[in-house]
Chain A
Amino acid sequence: MNVLPFLIIVPLMGAFSMPLSSLLGEKARSAWAVLVSALTLAVASKVFYDVWSTKQLLVYTLGDTTPLGKGVGFPIRILWEVDLFGALLALIVAFVAFMAIIYSLEYMKHDTGLEKYYTLITVLELGMLGIVITGDLFNFYVFLEIMSIASYALVAFRNDTWEGIEAGIKYMFVGSLASSFILLGIALLYGQYGTLTMSYLAVKIGQNPTFVGKAALGFFIGGLLFKSGAVPVHMWLADAHPAAPSSISAMLSGLVIKVGGIYALTRIAFSIYGTSINIKTVGWIIILFGCATLIVGNAMAVIQTDMKRLFAFSSVGQIGYILLGIGIGLAAYGTKVGDIALAGAVYHIVNHALMKALLFLVAGAVLHQIGTKNLNELSGLAKRMPFTSFAFLIGAAAIIGLPPLNGFASKWLIYESSALFNPFLAAVAVIGTAFCTAAYIRVLFTFFGRPSEVVDNAEEPGKAMMLPMLVLIVAIILMGLFPWQINDKIMLPTVDMLKDQLHYVAAVIGGA
């Protein structure tokens, strides 16, 4: 049975029945939220296992059995098409969203309007799942907007604080402008080629790459670089991610910027455009933005005094590594260096989702128990909150890239490929890591320093907040123990499928 539609059906139904379930009381609502996200995780695992074990693309046509129109040789229907990259991201999205929902059971207990909160968080998950499985450009735009609107609303969820409102307004206005650019790109492509199906567009662009097609790609890259938080347009990220509730920050930093930005960029660059335009140019554009992102993001993290803001800037820096890997994968398309870089980028997407989710959950625990996130006041936390400090230690070590943890493998792949591609890029990457290390060591000294009076009465958070952190720590350590096995078994097949544009097209047009 094709379980793909349930990836959308379950969270969609769960989201909009959330207010109904909250009529039965708080317990019923919590149980319903956990149940829905657990079911989504199960469906996502099934989809991932199906794609991974068969190495075939899953294609699902809405409203019919075949994507092709009657009597014509091209697809006319909306279709979903999942390759291993999409399935992998769907799994990670479902996993981190599940953790965030369990965490918010306790973290958000003191807030009001919780049925709206759970509805929005499930809609956010739904939007991301939709982006990674869709094979239709306009469908992609719709899911992108679902995800974006949910995240605008969630950033401004605590509307009694000025921080959330200001960050929400800035995120929303500029984000809508970026979405408009993406819609403009879609309109230009539709006007030029008369189709919206990604795989058929790939054929059409391959036959006739025109000026309008390139301009559309420019609009896509501009809008999606904004959504992923690359450097000249990273400022909304540093404002919005700290302002959101911490469970949402974990999802925004861990998932939204990758699924809404990096995944879409990769899909458009590899599967739609591919080699029909000058792929070296696209690659170098992304590399240059990646380098700027890497330096500025990590450097800004060093001078922050707000813990969550520091983590947000660190997210900007890590996005720089991912962009660097994807850029090298594009610029060195078809060579082994490109494959390694791309594998590193995909690996780092997964790793960073886990690490940054863990770090934001730690920040949330500190904020929840002590009530401040100012690093100058949090000295000596480790004595009172040992588990939280340990979780932070693991997350920070992983994000810096210390060998026994999972961040090491992905960063190593990116360094290695950039050194092989161009030693200058490797030097830039290492400078970025130096800044990153400096930033996290500052927080580490704060945690393990002399206790201040603010933390005197601090206690560990409750079980519902510890459990997700524990699971994420275990995941990070487990992934760190088998880095090359994971790379060979999962990441390299992902890269092979991602690069295989012919197969992506044939699954829709040739196969049926």
Chain B
Amino acid sequence: MIPFQFITAFLLIFMGLYAFLYKRNLIKLILALDIIDSGIHLLLISLGYRLEDGTLPTAPIYTGYETLKGTPMVGPIPQALVLTSIVIGVCILALAMALTVNAYRHYGSLDINKLRRLRG
């Protein structure tokens, strides 16, 4: 059986992709980018949470299962990775916002279909 957090992660990714294909507002596209990133982060974080010797590991941030004393901890690497990735995501978010403001200044619209002077 596929764990539900993986299903949720891929649902989030597909939600983001749907928004990317069918939404036209730049702010919504930024949100879509963030949702895709969140999906991948959820996938990464839940990868560190795996069954060892039949017992579930303890995770300070995850309370869906009962925790036992002396059980193994979750893998620390995915959390470090996600932390780094969140920082990168924030960078992209900030830059995207700045560009969106500038685009509104030049085009007077946030509709992505209006930003098509470059073609051919």
Q: Do chains A and B touch in the complex (CB under 8 A)?
A: yes
Whole-angstrom CA separation of A219 from B18 in the bound complex: 18
Q: Are B33 and A169 in contact (CB under 8 A)?
A: no
Residues of B near any A CB (own CB < 8 A): 13, 20, 26, 29, 33, 36-37, 40, 43-44, 47, 77-78, 81, 84-85, 88, 91-92, 95-96, 99-100, 102-103, 106-107, 112, 115-118
Tally of A interface residues using CB under 8 Å? 30
- Cβ contacts under 8 Å, A173 to chain B: 20, 29, 33, 96
Q: Are B92 and A172 in contact (CB under 8 A)?
A: yes
Closest to A243 in B: B118
Q: Are B92 and A166 in contact (CB under 8 A)?
A: no
A67 shortest CB reach to chain B, Å: 15
8 Å CB contact of A142 from B29, B84, B118: B84
8 Å CB contact of B47 from A165, A172, A190: A190
A197 shortest CB reach to chain B, Å: 11
Q: Which of B47, B88, B100, B118 counts the most A-chain CB atoms under 10 A from its CB? A: B118
Q: Are B40 and A138 in contact (CB under 8 A)?
A: no
- Cβ contacts under 8 Å, B95 to chain A: 149, 152-153, 172
- Judged by DSSP, the binding face of B is helix
A167 shortest CB reach to chain B, Å: 6
Interface residues of A in 242-283 (CB under 8 A from B): 243
1/0 per residue A154-182: CB within 8 Å of B? 00100100110111111011001100100
Closest to A162 in B: B106
- Cβ contacts under 8 Å, B102 to chain A: 156, 159, 165
Interface residues of A in 117-149 (CB under 8 A from B): 138, 141-142, 145, 149
8 Å CB contact of A177 from B33, B85, B99, B103: B33
Whole-angstrom CA separation of A145 from B78 in the bound complex: 18
- Cβ contacts under 8 Å, B112 to chain A: 169
Residues of A near any B CB (own CB < 8 A): 138, 141-142, 145, 149, 152-153, 156, 159, 162-163, 165-170, 172-173, 176-177, 180, 183-184, 187, 190-191, 196, 239, 243
Q: Are A180 and B99 in contact (CB under 8 A)?
A: no
8 Å CB contact of A184 from B29, B40, B77, B116: B40
Q: Are B36 and A180 in contact (CB under 8 A)?
A: yes
Closest to B104 in A: A165
Closest 7 CB pairs of A and B: A191-B47, A162-B106, A239-B118, A145-B88, A187-B44, A165-B102, A159-B102
User: Can you give 24 A-B contacts (C-beta < 8 A)?
Assistant: A141-B85, A145-B91, A149-B91, A149-B95, A152-B99, A163-B118, A165-B99, A166-B103, A166-B115, A166-B116, A168-B99, A169-B96, A169-B103, A169-B112, A170-B115, A172-B96, A173-B96, A176-B33, A176-B92, A180-B36, A180-B40, A184-B13, A190-B81, A196-B77
Q: Are B99 and A187 in contact (CB under 8 A)?
A: no
Whole-angstrom CA separation of A70 from B6 in the bound complex: 32
- Cβ contacts under 8 Å, A159 to chain B: 102
B31 shortest CB reach to chain A, Å: 12
Whole-angstrom CA separation of A243 from B20 in the bound complex: 24
Q: Which of A153, A163, A166, A196 counts the most B-chain CB atoms under 10 A from its CB? A: A166
- Cβ contacts under 8 Å, A170 to chain B: 115, 118
